Amino acid sequence: MGRKEVVMTVEEAASTVRDGMTISIGGILTANHPMAIIRRIIKNGVKNLTVVGSPAAGLEIDLMIGAGVVRKVATAYVGGESLAPIGPFFRRAAVEGTVQVWECDEAILCTALRAAAEGLPFLPWLGGVGTCLPEINPELKYFEDPIRGQKLLAVPAMEIDVAILHASWGDPYGNIQYVGNTYADILMARAAKKCIFQVEKVVSNEEVKRNPYLTKISGVDAVVPAPYGSHPFSSDGFYGLDKEHLKEYVAAARASVKGDPEPFNQYLRKYVLEPESHEDYLEKIGIKRLLSLYKY
C-alpha cells in the first residue's frame, strides 16, 4: 500500500467548514492569512462560525464579520496597523454585540491554544491578572495557585474543529515548510482536531528532504496549493501586502458601517462572490499588480 497524499483543492478545503463550527485562521496582522480558502468559505454562504483569529489578527477577520459568516470571535486584535488601527466591521459588531468577542491578550490566547493542544481543561497564566479581561471574559477565572498561593488566571482550552493556515510550501504527504515566521500557526494546528495548510506551492518530497530543517509540522490533514493565496496580505518570502487593495477594502468597510453599504457589497461581489475560483480572483487582481508586490 502506498503512502497517502493529502493534496486538496481550495474548494474541497473550504467545503469541510460547515455552519456553526469553530475554525481558526493563521497568520498575523497583515501577513500569511489563508485568504483563498477564506474567500471560498464566504462564497459558500457558511453561517454562525466561531472564529479563533491569530492572537493579533488582521482584516481577514473583519472581512468575515462584514460578510456575515461569524457569530463569535476570539483574538486580542482585529485590524490593519496604520491602514486601519481597528477593523471597521469588528468594531461595530463588538460594540453592538452582534458578534461575541472572547476578550484576551495575545499570550492568553496562546495559553488557551496550548491547553487544547495538551489536552488539559485549562492552563494557568499570570498576564491579565488585575486587568479588565476576567471581567469582560467570564471564561477567564481567577484561582489561587496551590504552589505559591498566588492569584492566577485559569485559561480554558480553546477547542477548535479545523485550523486553516497559510505556509510557504508543502509536499503531497503533508510536510509543511516555512521560509518566514510561523506566527501562531503550529500552535493552532496542534490545538485543532484537523488542520488544513494552504501553501504557495506544492513541492516534491525530495525537495522537502533537501532541507528538512525548514519543516515546521508534518502529518497535516490537507495541503492546498494556492499561489498568491494570502493576497491582499503578505506572504513571508513571496510577496508584500497589497496596500492599494487593502485601502479599497478599508474605505468600503468604513462606508458600510457609516450607513452606505454599496461600496462593500460591490467589493464582496467583485472579489469574493463572483470569482469562480482562486485563479479567477487572481485574474481580477491582475498579473501586473501581483508581480509588483514582490520584495526582497
Q: Is position 197 an interface residue for other proteins (rule: CB under 8 A)? A: no
Measured in degrees and rounded to the nearest 5, phi and psi for residue 61 equal -70, -35
Tell me how far, at minimum, the Cβ of 216 lies from other proteins, in Å: 8
- What is d(CA 274, CA 195) in angstroms, rounded to the nearest whole number? 27
- What is d(CA 167, CA 201) in angstroms, rounded to the nearest whole number? 9
Tell me how far, at minimum, the Cβ of 231 lies from other proteins, in Å: 14
Binding mask 220-239 for other proteins (x = CB under 8 A): --------------x-xx--
- Of 105, 109, 103, 112, nearest to 137 by C-alpha is 103
> Which residue in the set 52, 59, 187, 253 belongs to the binding site for other proteins (CB under 8 A)?
187
> Which residue in the set 48, 150, 204, 266 belongs to the binding site for other proteins (CB under 8 A)?
150
Is residue 239 within 8 A of residue 202, CB to CB? The reply is: no
- Of 192, 195, 184, 191, nearest to 218 by C-alpha is 195
DSSP codes, 172-191:
TT--EE-SS--TTHHHHHHH
Tell me how far, at minimum, the Cβ of 2 lies from other proteins, in Å: 33
Which range in 24-32, 159-167, 256-264, 276-284 contacts other proteins by CB under 8 A?
A: 24-32
Polymer length in residues for the chain: 296
> Which residue in the set 19, 120, 142, 181 belongs to the binding site for other proteins (CB under 8 A)?
181
Footprint of other proteins on 83-102 (CB under 8 A) = 85-86, 91, 94-97, 101
> Which residue in the set 68, 227, 240, 263 belongs to the binding site for other proteins (CB under 8 A)?
240
Q: Is position 212 an interface residue for other proteins (rule: CB under 8 A)? A: no
- Of 287, 271, 291, 285, nearest to 39 by C-alpha is 271
- What is d(CA 176, CA 166) in angstroms, rounded to the nearest whole number? 10
The size of the interface with other proteins (CB under 8 A), counted in residues, is 58
What letter represents residue 17's amino acid? Answer: V
Footprint of other proteins on 117-146 (CB under 8 A) = 125-133, 135-136
- What is d(CA 146, CA 123) in angstroms, rounded to the nearest whole number? 13
Which range in 38-46, 159-167, 180-188, 201-209 contacts other proteins by CB under 8 A?
A: 180-188
Cell of 107: 499570550
Q: Is position 52 an interface residue for other proteins (rule: CB under 8 A)? A: no
- What is d(CA 150, CA 90) in angstroms, rounded to the nearest whole number? 35
Q: Is position 110 an interface residue for other proteins (rule: CB under 8 A)? A: yes
Cell of 15: 467545503
Cell of 53: 483569529
CA distances from 33 to 22, 29, 200, 220, 228 (A): 17, 9, 12, 17, 11
Q: Is position 157 an interface residue for other proteins (rule: CB under 8 A)? A: no
> Which residue in the set 107, 202, 255, 285 belongs to the binding site for other proteins (CB under 8 A)?
107
User: Which residue, 17 or 176, is less far from other proteins as judged by CB?
Assistant: 176
> Which residue in the set 35, 59, 77, 226 belongs to the binding site for other proteins (CB under 8 A)?
77
Tell me how far, at minimum, the Cβ of 274 lies from other proteins, in Å: 29
Per the listing, cell 486580542 goes with 76
Residues forming contacts to other proteins in the complex (CB under 8 A) are 28-32, 55-56, 75-79, 81-82, 85-86, 91, 94-97, 101, 103-108, 110-111, 113, 125-133, 135-136, 150-151, 180-184, 186-187, 234, 236-237, 240-241, 295-296
